[in-house]
Structure 1
Amino acid sequence: MDSLKIKAHLHRTVRSGKRSHDTQVRYFWCRETGPQNGHAHYHMLILVNKNTFHSLGSFHRQGNNLGNYIIEAWLSGLGISPDIVADPERLYPTGAFS
């Protein structure tokens, strides 16, 4: 994830007069091969300070929230422009990971 976006988010929070908690993005990932078809897939765990990001937030494109930052980072990693994804809310219709 782009740490500059996280830093900008924290800066906006402070400028608006709200309390801000610093955070570092930590992550773990692993690659796994499917037993039936042999295709590789990935699992990822992202850790942030709960006082900074207590939820993923809305998945609307305009949102300055963790959910939107994750989607943009994922699309960037895949080399896909966020402009061609018509409705990011369709990626996670319940608005939460389980």
Structure 2
Amino acid sequence: MGRVLSIAKDKLYDCLTVERKLRAMLQSTEENVSDLKKKSAFLTQLAAKTVPKPLHCLPLQLASDYFLLGYHSRGCKQEKLQDPSLFTWPSFPIMF
């Protein structure tokens, strides 16, 4: 702000005019932020209301099933996680 005011003084602008312009810019920016906050709150509520309840509760249900059925204590089997044959190049004959 000080730099802007010093530039304004160097260019012989009326300080009162510069102050009014800066205040107007600040006020319009604050109004824009306020409007965006209101829109954000509305869209958050809209998203919460439009997501179906079963889909909303799915992560919680999956997590509870994971622990209730004892999957965490069984451990992971490496062969179920990845298939090494997927990482090999196919042996197709190259035809030119």
Q: TM-score, normalised by structure 2?
A: 0.24
Higher RCO, 1 vs 2 (CA within 8 Å, ≥6 residues apart): 1
Q: TM-score, normalised by structure 1?
A: 0.24
State which structure, 1 or 2, has the greater radius of gyration over its C-alpha atoms: 2
